[in-house]
Structure 1
C-alpha cells in the first residue's frame, strides 16, 4: 500500500475536524431543532450532551483512529478485533447515507446564495422554497453541490481538505461574529435572546422524552460522531499530538459556532417577524428570508448569510465523503480521484428521492440522526471502554505531558455514564421512530 496522506500541521487537523463538526449541523439543523424543541430548554440539554457524551465520545473515536492508523473499517482489523469491524461499517454507511440528503440541502444553499444577489425570494419566501426545494431544480443544485464536494476530496488530505478548511473555518467564525453583532443592533431583537437563552424548565420537564433524544442526536450530528469521520481524521494524526487538547478544542469551538448561529437567527427573526419559523428542514430557508426581505440591504445580508452556510456545508460534506473514500483507498489500493468521482455519483443517485420530495429528506434525516448515529456511538463507546480499555488509555496519554488520573476518569465515564446515556437516548429514539409508547 502506498504511503498514506497526512495532515501538514496540527492546526490543519483541528480546523478540518471543526469544519466537519460545524457544517450544516450547526447553521441549518441547530436553529430549527432549537425552535421545535423549546428554545433555551433545548440549548441546555444540548450543551449537557456535548459535555457528558460528546467530548468523551470524540476522544474514543480519536484513540481508535490514531492507534490503528487506518480508516474506519480497517482500523478494527488492524487492532486485532476483526469481529468489531461492524462498528466502522455502520459509521461508513451512516456517512454515506447522510451525505445523500445533506447534499440536497447544500444544493438549496447554493440556490439561495444565487437568489440573494437579486432578492429573488423576498416577495414570497414560502412559495419560493416550495418551488426550489424539490423537483428538477433541487436535483440540479444537488448535483452541483456534490460536484464541489468531489472536487475537494479528490485532491486528498493535505492538498484538498486541509487547504480548503484552513480558509473555510476562520471565514465562518469571522462572518458569524459580524452577523451576530449586526443582529444585536436591530430594534426589537430582545425577545429572540429570551427565547434562545432563558430556559423554561417547566416546559423542559414536561417534554424530556422528546427533548433528550433530539438534543443528544443534534450533539452527535454536529460533532460528526457516529459517521466514523473522527476515526478517519485521527488516523492521520502523529503520535506527538495531544488528543484531549484537540478533542476539547473541537467540541468547544463547534458548540460556540452553534450558539453564534442562534445569536444570529433568533434576534433577527424577533426583530423582523416576531416569530421563529415553522420547525422542519426548511425553517431557515423560509423564516430567515422573510426577515431579510424587511431589512435595508437585505440582498447583501442574504449573500453573506447563505455564503457562510455554503462554506459550512462544504466543510462537513468533504469529511463525510472522505470516510468512504479513505476506506477504499486504504484497504483496496484504488486510486483516489476516480474512486471519489464514482462514490460521489452513487451518493448523488441515493439523494434523488430527497431532492424530488422533501418528505423523503425528513425520513432520511430522522433515520440517520435518531437511529444510525446513536447506535454507532453506542458501539464505539462500548468497544473503547470495555474491549480496548488498556490500549485506549495508553493511546490517550501519548502526546500528553501529564494526563494524571484523567485517563482513568475518562475510561470509567465511557463505561458507565456515557454508555448508559447513549443507550437511553437510542431507546427513546427507537420508541419515537417506531411509534411505540414512551
Structure 2
C-alpha cells in the first residue's frame, strides 16, 4: 500500500475540519431547524448539546482516526474486530446519503446566486407572480436543478481527486476565511436594518416553557443538528484525524474546531433572523428546507441594497457547501483507497458518481429530500455515533485515554472523567434521541410519504 497522505500544516487540518462543519449544516439547515424549534428555545438546547455532547464525541472520533490511521470501516475493524466493521459501514452509508441530497441543495444556492446577476430579486420574483414560493418551486426541481447537481458534484470530485494537500487543504484554506469575512459583513449590515430588533429577540430571548413543553421534538432536532453541523456520525472526523501526527493536542484542536463552527452557526442566526423580521417575515420556520430560500429571497426583494446582499449571501453559502461536500466525499473515497487499494482519482470518481446518481431523484421531487434527510439526520448519524461511543466507552476505553494523552501529557483524572462522560450521559442522550428519531421517521413514512406514493404511483 502506498504511503498515506498527511496534512501539511495544523492550520490546514483545522480549516478543513471547520470547513466540513460550517457548510450547509450551519447556513442552510441551522436557520430553519432553529425556527422550527421556536428560535431561542432551540438555540439553548443546541448549544448545550454542542458543549456537553459534541466536544466529548468529537474527541472520540479523533482518537479512533489517529490511532488506526484508517477510514471508519478499517478503524473499527482494527479496534473492535470483524463485527465492528459493519458499524464502520454505517458511517460510509451516512456520507453517501447526506452528500446525495446535499449536492442538490448546493445547486439551489448556486442558482439563486446567478439569479442576482440577471436582475434585482424583486424583478426575479415579478417573473413568478411576486411569489417567492413559486420561484423556489421552479428552482428546486427540474432540469436546472439536475444540471447544477451535476456541476457541483463534478467540482467536488475534482477537488478530492487532487488529494489531501493539493486538493482539500488548498481549497479549504481559501474558502473558510472567505466564509467568515462575508458572514461577519452581512451580520453588521443586518444590525443596521429597521425592525431587526424583533429578529434578535426571537433568536436570543428564550421562552423556557417552550423547552419543557416541546422537549420530545427539541431533543432529537438539537442532537441531529449538533452532530450534523460538527460532521459527527459521518466518519468525517475519523477520516480527517487519520491523517494527523501523534504530536498533536487533540483537545486543543477539538475546542478550536467546535469554537469556530458554533461561532459561525451563531453568526448565521445574527444574519438571517434580523433580515427576516426587518422584511416583515415573522414566521421564518414556515416552509421547512425551502424556508431560507423563500424568506431570504423575499427579504432581498423588499430591502434596499438587497441585490448586492443577496449575491453575497447566496455566494457565501455556495462556498460553504463545497467545503462540506469535499469532506463527505473524502470519507467514502478514503474507504475505497484504504480497503480496496484503488487509486485516489479512480476512487473519487467512482464513489462520487454513485452518490451523484442517488441524488437525482431529489431533483425530481422534494419528498425525496425529506426521505433522505430525516433518515440520515435522525437515524444514521445518531446510530453511528451511539455505537462508536459504546465501542470507545465500554469495549476499548484504555486505548482511547492513551491516544488522547499523546501531544498533551498525563491526563490524570480528566481522562477517566471523559470516558465516563462518554459511557453514561452521552450514550443515554443518544439512545433517547435515536428512539425519537425513529418515531419521527416512521410518522413521516406512514404520513406524508405514504400520501405522496398514493398520489403519484
Range into which the TM-score falls when normalised by the shorter chain = over 0.9
Q: Which residue of structure 1 aligns with residue 209 of structure 2?
A: 202
Instruction: Describe the superposition over 1:80-99 as per-residue Cα deviations: whole angstroms up to 9, x where unpaired.
Output: 62321122100010001110
Residue 339 (structure 2) pairs with residue 331 (structure 1)? yes
With 144-153 and 270-279 compared, the bigger mean Cα shift is at: 270-279
**Which residue of structure 2 aligns with residue 409 of structure 1?**
417
In structure 2, the partner of 1:47 is: 47
Deviation at 1:404, TM superposition (A): 3.5
Q: How does 1:54-73 map to 2 (within 5 A)?
A: 54-73=54-73
Alignment of 1:228-377 (within 5 A): 228-277=235-284, 278-377=286-385
The residue that corresponds to 2:26 in the other structure is 26
Residues 269 and 330 of structure 1: is their aligned pair in 2 closer, same or farther, counting only changes over 3 Å? same
Q: TM-score, normalization: structure 2?
A: 0.93
Q: What is the Cα deviation at residue 372 of structure 1?
A: 0.5
Give the drift of 1:402.
Answer: 5.1
How far residue 76 of structure 1 moved from its aligned partner, in angstroms, is: 2.1
Contact 1:122-1:292 within 8 A present in 2 as well: no
Question: Which of 40-49 and 336-345 deviates more?
Answer: 336-345
* Matching residue of 1:119: 120
2:197 match: 190
2:452 aligned residue: none
Would the aligned equivalents of 1:150 and 1:341 in 2 still touch at CA under 8 Å?
yes
SS in 2 for 1:293: helix
Cross-structure match for 2:402? 394
Q: Does 2:87 correspond to 1:87? A: yes
Cα distance, 1:151 vs structure 2: 1.1
Q: Tell me by how many angstroms 1:14 deviates.
A: 0.8
Q: Secondary structure at the match of 1:435?
A: helix
Structure 1: how far apart are the matches of 2:413 and 2:332?
36
> What is aligned with 1:383?
391
Q: How does 1:151-190 map to 2 (within 5 A)?
A: 151-190=158-197
> Are the aligned partners of 1:50 and 1:219 in contact in 2 as well (CA < 8 Å)?
yes
Which of residues 195, 218, 221 is equivalent to 1:211? Answer: 218
Per-residue deviation, 1:203: 1.6
Aligned partner of residue 175 in structure 1, secondary structure: helix
Contact 1:30 1:258 in 2 (8 A): yes
Give the Cα–Cα distance (whole angstroms) in 2 for the partners of residues 249 and 159 of structure 1: 23
Structure 2 CA distance for partners of 1:402 and 1:186, relative to 1, 3 Å:
farther
Contact conserved, 1:273 with 1:290, CA < 8 A, in 2?
Answer: no
Question: Following the alignment from structure 1 to structure 2, what is the Cα–Cα distance between the partners of residues 44 and 347?
Answer: 35
Structure 1: segments with no counterpart, 5+ residues:
none
Deviation of 1:432 (Å): 2.2
TM-score by length of 1: 0.97
Verify the 8 A CA contact 1:72 1:327 in the aligned structure 2. Answer: yes
Distance 1:327 1:56 in 2: 25
For 1:418, the equivalent position in structure 2 comes to: 426
Relative to structure 2, which stretch is displaced further, 221-230 or 399-408?
A: 399-408
Gaps of 5+ in 2: 445-457
Provide the aligned C-alpha RMSD in A. Answer: 1.4
Instruction: Please say if residues 266 and 276 of structure 1, whose CA atoms lie closer than 8 Å, have aligned partners that are also in contact.
Output: no
Q: Secondary structure at the match of 2:206?
A: coil
Q: Residue 135 of structure 1: CA displacement?
A: 1.6
List per-residue Cα deviations over 1:344-373 (Å, max 9, x = no partner).
111111001111101111111001001100
Q: In structure 2, how many angstroms separate the alpha carbons of the residues matched to 1:283 and 1:167?
A: 29
Match of 2:230 among 204, 214, 223: 223
Question: Could you list the per-position Cα deviations for residues 49-94 of structure 1 after superposition, in whole angstroms to 9, with x for gaps in the alignment?
Answer: 1112111111101111000011111112333623211221000100
Please tell me whether the aligned partners of residues 191 and 267 of structure 1 are also in contact (alpha carbons under 8 angstroms): yes
